[in-house]
Structure 1
């Protein structure tokens, strides 16, 4: 998280709990894939928690770089692929699946783009204004077009899904992006991941809905 080590590890614990409950309520591999998102968000917050603990301590500076890159790999590479992919796996309607495959393609392009930047150019993190600021020395990543495919893949793909409540993921992602862009301009990556983690509650709700449907169908067949 963006405020302190305590906040990061606390959020990680909550996300872990949500992920485990979501995973338990999931019946199919496709549902479990969606349920894995809170679990991965939990790991991402551990990276930032470790970063908070080590970034200002000279004796632990060797942990700063792996923690920085660990967080950024999740933020910049994993999410633009995982979110549209999870929705694509769950989708049953052919037209919507086709549309989601296009969003996934955009996410893959974005992930390759940012992955290249993380591989070739240095990335740094620093504490400023009670937040962690991530800076990538990848020129293209700092321009407006650097995140267009990212927003499309993660923020707009949920609106294509036919599954009830999934569109709330898109609402949360887009709203929190605008909020952090306006009020936390220099800390967007960290603060946005903090607020966007609220999508885990939507995933929990959807997983519980899946579980109820399975139980209802089972009762009808008895």
Structure 2
């Protein structure tokens, strides 16, 4: 998280617990990627917690640079590829799956581009005004930003699953708040909102579990 090591590690523990709860409820291989999402958020927040501990002592050290690299790979390259695939796999409506498939293509394109950018440009992180600010070359343009949204938030909003749509809504609200109030630390703050929204994934699987139990009860 963007405020302190304590907050980051607390978020790590909570999102890891939500990931375990989701994994216990996942019944098919198609559900596993979505169930695993909170675990990846936990890893991401853990990386930021370690950055909080290392940046004051060695901001340009190899450990700080490596942690910043891993965080940026997850935040910028991993999620736009992973998120639409996870949503598409659980989507029962064929028409929505076609739309989400377009998001997969957009996410794959922007994720690959951003990974290339992270690898080929200098990267790092600094503590500034009580937040962690990630540095990786120049700012990206509107096209990249829209493609990133198409890979992360849009597939959630296209889902027919109520809790998945709610997750997309929280992610979008986080985007607006992070952009308006924490521009310099945008990546860090938005990722915190997304991690906090993992509770919606747990609720989604709880809802699916209840539906399965209802079907079993009707068939008895």
TM-score by structure 1 length?
0.94
**Residue 54 of structure 1, CA deviation:** 0.6
Q: Which consecutive unaligned segments of at least 5 residues does structure 2 have?
A: none
**CA-atom RMSD in angstroms:** 1.5
**Residue 39 of structure 1, CA deviation:** 0.6
**Residue 60 of structure 1, CA deviation:** 9.4
Provide the residue aligned with 1:11 in structure 2. Answer: 11
**Residue 52 of structure 1, CA deviation:** 0.6
Farther off after superposition, 54-63 or 31-40: 54-63
The one of 207, 210, 215 aligned to 2:208 = 210
What SS class does the counterpart of residue 92 from structure 2 fall into?
Answer: coil
The 1-side partners of 2:213 and 2:60 are apart by: 50
Tell me if the contact between 1:27 and 1:211 (Cα under 8 Å) persists in the aligned partners: no
Establish whether residue 134 from structure 1 lines up as the match of residue 138 from structure 2.
no
Query: Where do 1:58-207 residues align within 5 Å?
Result: 58=58, 61-137=61-137, 139=138, 141-207=139-205
What SS class does the counterpart of residue 86 from structure 1 fall into?
Answer: helix
What SS class does the counterpart of residue 127 from structure 1 fall into?
Answer: strand
Give per-residue Cα distances to partners, 1:85-109, cap 9 Å, x unaligned.
1110011221111111000100000
The 1-side partners of 2:133 and 2:29 are apart by: 36
The 2-side partners of 1:151 and 1:35 are apart by: 21
The 2-side partners of 1:59 and 1:156 are apart by: 35
**Residue 124 of structure 1, CA deviation:** 1.4
TM-score by structure 2 length?
0.95
